[in-house]
Amino acid sequence: MKKLTRQIKIGSVPIGGGAPCSVQSMCSTDTRDVAATLAQIGRLAEAGCEIVRCAVPDMDAAKALAGIKAGSPMPLIADIHFDYKLALQALESGVDGLRLNPGNIGERWKVAEVVKAAAERQIPIRIGVNGGSLEKELLVKYGHPTPEAMVESALGHVRILEELNYREIKISIKVSDVLRTLEAYRLLSDAVDYPLHIGVTEAGTIFSGTIKSSVGLGILLHQGIGDTMRVSLTGDPVHEVRVAYDILKSLGLRQRGINFVSCPTCGRCQVDLIPVAEEVERRLAHLDKNITVAVMGCSVNGPGEAREADFGIAGGRGEGLLFKHGEILRKVPQDKLADALVEEVLKP
């Protein structure tokens, strides 16, 4: 059962309160380059991204957010560190959310200024605790970024906002280690009812990062923890969105894109299946339909799996059978298998 948390809204996207777990990403472009940033946001939107975040390293970037917000097809979050003036300018530029830690903004009056401006605009704030930037006193107390240390840090930031009567809050609490991330989120989920943004930070490249994120986020989501998520990968952020949806889809939580099934191949396979499977998946990656497409390689499980799918092929000796909704359509030579399957799926 998904934990019922408070609901906030990032633009038009509901977070928490029983809403589906939303998918976020972060631009890798220079925020000051509005055209490049909007081009990347457009590609993220096509992939299904629902919320996008931009780094705000200086005042020029904070001012550039106005142009980005004007052209963005999705809600925009400003990522702020240390300088409260950047947060104020980001709000003036019309962003839909802030990511900052009140504890590193400085004096209490500076935090109060940001909270006042956010409250006037009904803009939520995400408290984002990362193991790599934990407060020095907590590192001294706990020795290193333990789950308990990160939760204490998060609750300290929350307390600052609550004392200012501000509760439009969501929280993230991340390290690159999967097990520590899991324990930290479990502890935090038990301690608060604010919506949680989940992720395994600095997870790695597309290969290793996808594995860490799938394990960590998959476990949290299965346990009912997580109201919005970002998969952090070293690479094109479009991959983050696709991986996020595949994680959600595998747990039956969200549906975007096709359900693609293919066999791992073995000594019984008599068709060169790997390039066929890769080509079919690539050519159908853009498709947002609730269908299953199977690419199978031999007579043991192949025909059965292909019949169970909406569309499928089952390989034989240098050829394969093309299926649609459980019925055999025809035999197809190996070099035409990918074309035949893709064309059948894409028929009006």
Whether the pLDDT of residue 118 is over 80: the answer is yes
Do residues 295 and 280 make contact, with C-beta atoms less than 8 angstroms apart?
Answer: yes
Q: Quick one: pLDDT band at residue 105, thresholds 50, 70, 90?
A: confident
Using CA atoms, how far apart are residues 193 and 4, in angstroms rounded to an integer?
8
| 8 A C-beta contact, residue 178 and residue 212 | yes
Average pLDDT in the 78-92 region? Answer: 93
Render pLDDT for 241-285 as a digit per residue (tens, 0 to 9).
Answer: 999 999 999 998 987 878 888 888 776 677 778 888 889 888 988
In the chain, the amino acid numbered 199 is: G
Q: Which residues are annotated as a binding site for [4Fe-4S] cluster?
A: 263, 266, 298, 305
The C-alpha atoms of residue 202 and residue 284 are separated, in whole angstroms, by 29
Instruction: Flag whether pLDDT at 197 surpasses 80.
Output: yes
Of 222, 225, 169, 230, give the one whose Cα is nearest residue 200. Answer: 230
Q: Which of 127-136, 204-213, 297-306 ranks highest by mean pLDDT? A: 204-213
Angle at 159 between CA 155 and CA 90, to 5 degrees: 95
User: Is it the case that residue 2 has pLDDT exceeding 70?
Assistant: yes
Is the Cβ–Cβ distance between 93 and 87 less than 8 Å? no
Alpha-carbon distance values, 255 to 48, 70, 241, 252, 340 (Å): 11, 29, 13, 7, 25
Q: How far apart are CA 67 and CA 93, in angstroms?
A: 8
Rg of the Cα trace of the chain? 23
Positions at the binding site: 263, 266, 298, 305
Residue 306 in contact with residue 312, Cβ under 8 Å?
yes
Backbone φ, ψ for residue 57 (5° rounding):
-80, -20
Angle, helices 84-92/59-71, rounded to nearest 10 degrees: 30
**78 SS3 class:** strand
pLDDT in tens, 13-50: 999 999 999 999 999 999 999 999 999 999 999 999 99
Strands 169-174 and 76-79, by their bridges, are unpaired
Split at pLDDT 50, 70, 90, the class of 327 is confident
Nearest to 197 by CA among 147, 144, 124: 124
Compare 105 and 14 and report the one with higher pLDDT: 14
